[in-house]
Amino acid sequence: MRILICNDDGIEAPGLARLVNAAGGLSDDVWVVAPDGKRTAAGSSLTIARPLTMRRVKPNWYSCSGTPADCVVSAMTWLFADARKPDLLLAGVNDGRNVAEDLAYSGTLGIAREATFWGVPAIGFSRVKNPEFTDRDDPWLGALIASLWQSRAGWATEGHWLSVNLPTALPAEIRQPRIGRDKIGRTAEIVESDGDRTVITVPRGRAHASEPGDENEAIDTGYVSINRLNWFGETRLDERFVGGILD
């Protein structure tokens, strides 16, 4: 079983090492391609027609100068160009939860989305800030990955992937919550202003808004949240509307 692991926090991120450790119990054929620095909120963006630098850090580990999704593309088109493609892609473990609108612009979930374009089952893992790590975490996470792999026929259909949010403490029970609303990027701060030129920054941080049944409530009450996502993004228009557009 060949496993590819990518992230958006960078090649040296602790969450990446923990995910590699957890996956090591499933296979000895584990590969890592991760950005050479932090790439938060990069979504599914790709670097096209511009050079990417791939650097071998250690056996089976490579850093990439591009985006998180570039890591998947570089693996598929270069690293495994003449070799067997991965059977499973794991993304993360992200340093912080990915909920609500994050599903659209998270680099971690952009990785998982890109993997589905290549027909590879994918799971994005995120965890709350400052979790309570114990020696049980990595084996438990490995068992969860193994269980999800064994049940992939139920979720890994074309264009679908999983988003898993881990709470403060593990092990934990699992819930499938409703996707809520808790937007990052809600405010702007003026750094400097000079006539027609203004420099602003959008600070990190979210409102931590929560409603009954959403992901934040599940995570905050100690559950692992799992949501099945897809990239199709289509809602059919009413045929009467389509027929009347040019009438």
Q: 176-212: b or e for each residue (b if 16 or more CB lie within 10 Å)?
A: ebebbebebeeeeeeeeeeeeeeeeeeeeebeeebee
94 is in an annotated binding site: yes
Helices (H), the chain: 14-23, 68-74, 102-105, 107-117, 137-150, 215-220, 239-243
53 closest CA partner among 67, 32, 38? 67
CA-CA distance, 190 to 98, in Å (whole number)? 27
> Which is it for the CA torsion 213, 216, 219, 224, positive or negative?
positive
Residue type, 87: D
7 is in an annotated binding site: no
> Which is it for the CA torsion 216, 221, 226, 228, positive or negative?
negative
89 closest CA partner among 110, 63, 104? 110
138 closest CA partner among 177, 90, 175, 86? 90
Cα–Cα distances in angstroms (integers) from residue 79 to residues 44, 91, 92, in the given order = 20, 17, 20
Residue 213 corresponds to which tokens in the numbers above? 């049944």
8 is in an annotated binding site: yes
Known binding residues are 8-9, 94
Known binding residues for a divalent metal cation are 8-9, 94
